[in-house]
Structure 1
Amino acid sequence: MIAIRERHDHGGGSSGRAALGEAEELAVSCHGKGFITIALIGEMIAAMIEREDETAAIPSGLRHQRFVAVPLTADTAALDYASYMASPDVIRIHSDDRWPVEGFTLADDLKLVAKHQADHENRRAFTFVLLAPSLREALGCLYVNPLRMYLQRAGADRRLLDAVPPTSALVTFWLRQDQQDTGLADVVVEAVNDWLLNEWPLSTHMFRVLPDEQSSCTALDRLNLRKTHLSLPGDTRPYIWYQPPA
């Protein structure tokens, strides 16, 4: 179905916002918008796309009363940038201090957005900006990335890798700082979870958050999801994982 990668995973500094992990093959740039080597693209396609699903339809977006998810492109970059820069504490926590804010410019962002747009159009990674219903401001970002590839880079053991279908997604998101206590996180996780289950050609998906992302954790705790911690020697951040029941 898909080969996917994370941006913002808006990545920070030399570490980038790419939550696929800091693998040698993945050159990660700031704002989670890493870029991918030709070799890695080939690996992605081989790992993530099952032959019968190569032409499976990928949803163009998600519309809800509280938000609209659309692909991150040059057309929406300015809104995304404004939301990002208005959320320094959120960005610091979500990225574990890996994404830059100070000194990060719209010109920097546009270069990285171009890479995300190319990934999206080529079905390697899917980054959505979450807009207000008016479409005049951004509320955050959503990333749908290849779960199995992240686990491989993070040193998951064979038993865990064998249990993860090729068409499985790693899902992360952040919401603008002034939206943390508005109930928007509850709305987003419920709507996105249903969307992924019902409209995406995925075998499964897992949300990933850090414990200090309090609004996101609380919202995910309220859903009927399986909560777990994974032992990953190549990525020791204390991520919490949430997966829909089988």
Structure 2
Amino acid sequence: MIVKRIATTIILAFFIAMSWSLSAVEFWQDDLSMAKTTESSRLKIEALKPSDAAEIYTSYMDSQPWLYEQLGWSWPSSKTSEEQNGSMIQHLLKQMKEKTAFSFVVIDKQSKQIVGMVYFAPVASDRASGAALDTSNFQAEITWWLGQDAVANSLHNDLFALTTDWLRSSWPWSQVLFPVSDSNHSALAVLENSAARKVATNRDTQEVFYSYTLARK
């Protein structure tokens, strides 16, 4: 029981850290409204719901060893339980209710299954530590994960295109940050072949940072 509580605390600490901000006022204002869904021919992104918890757990645990190596988040652990997953989902839902961060599921329209998630959060307060990065230039940071089969089917390319189009058309930010582990080869390949610009690296955390300007259409 003690081990489970410690593991749950670690998981929640990770997702809390994703939402800490140097300038949260720039991230969200009370008069803004959250966009809840968008879709392409292959994917649908929609706001996280409590009923998604079980399917999300299955999705990431099916790719657990691969995701753990790729993401560099020290997550998901092979010991992550459904109970811990439930606590994580409740925390993400609380953030959405308070509008301190936003979480979305990624659905493969062909299989109709959840294959990943996308997170919009304030820029984490420790991003500037160990990297020559001016975090004041960014209003939000964007992270995501996709299961191994989804990446094998090149859905990471579709996800990036869909996400950036959505950010440009329906969200208030002009400049966002993409922090990516240097072991996340699929994400790095997408970013390198996009309009994103590499702006910094952190050798201590083994992260690469990309700036993306959301020029309005």
1:62 aligns with 2:35: no
- Counterpart of 1:220 in structure 2 is 191
* Count of paired positions: 209
Report the TM-score, using the length of structure 1 for normalisation.
Answer: 0.72
Aligned to 2:31, what secondary structure does the other structure show?
coil
Taking only the aligned residue pairs, the percentage that are identical comes to: 20
Matching of residue 229 in structure 1 with residue 200 in structure 2: yes
Q: Per-residue deviation at 1:203?
A: 3.1
Give the drift of 1:94: 3.9
Pick from 153, 160, 164 the counterpart of residue 137 of structure 2: 164
- Which protein is richer in helix relative to its size? 2
- 8 Å CA contact 1:71–1:129 kept in 2: the answer is yes
Amino acid aligned to 2:200: H
Q: Which residue in 1 is equivalent to 2:168?
A: 197
Q: For 1:167-182, list aligned pairs within 5 A.
A: 168-182=139-153
Residue 208 of structure 2 is matched in structure 1 by: 240
Mapped to 1, the partners of 2:200 and 2:54 lie a distance apart of 36
Could you tell me whether the CA contact under 8 Å between 2:28 and 2:100 is conserved in 1? no
Shift of the 33–186 alpha-carbon distance from structure 1 to 2, 3 Å rule, reads: same
CA positional deviation for 1:134: 5.7
CA distance in 2, matches of 1:187, 1:202: 21
Say if 1:67 and 1:113 are closer, same or farther in 2 by CA, change over 3 A: same
Does residue 120 of the first structure (1) align with residue 96 of the second (2)? yes
TM-score of the pair, normalised by structure 2: 0.81
Would the alpha carbon gap of residues 117 and 35 (structure 1) be closer, same or farther in structure 2, given more than 3 Å must change? farther
CA contact (8 A) 2:106 2:118 kept: yes
Shift of 1:172: 0.9
The Cα shift of 1:68 comes to 1.3
Deviation at residue 226 of structure 1 after TM alignment: 0.9
Cα offset, 1:103, TM superposition: 2.7
Shift of 1:47: 3.0
Gaps (5+ residues) in structure 1? Answer: 1-11, 18-26
Q: List runs of 5+ in structure 2 lacking aligned partners.
A: 1-5
Query: C-alpha distance in 2, partners of 1:213/1:93?
Result: 8
SS at match of 1:151: coil
- Name the SS of the counterpart of 1:147 in structure 2: coil
The superposition leaves residues 200-232 of structure 1 with CA deviations (integer Å, 9 ceiling, x where unpaired) of: 11131111212221111111222122123245x
More moved, 191-200 vs 117-126: 191-200
Q: Which residue of 1 aligns with 2:3?
A: none
| CA displacement at 1:117 relative to structure 2 | 0.3
- Give the direction of change, closer, same or farther, for the CA distance of 1:72–1:16 in structure 2 (3 Å limit): farther
Query: Hey, what's the Cα distance between the residues in 2 that align with 1:97 and 1:147?
Result: 16
CA distance in 2, matches of 1:51, 1:243: 16
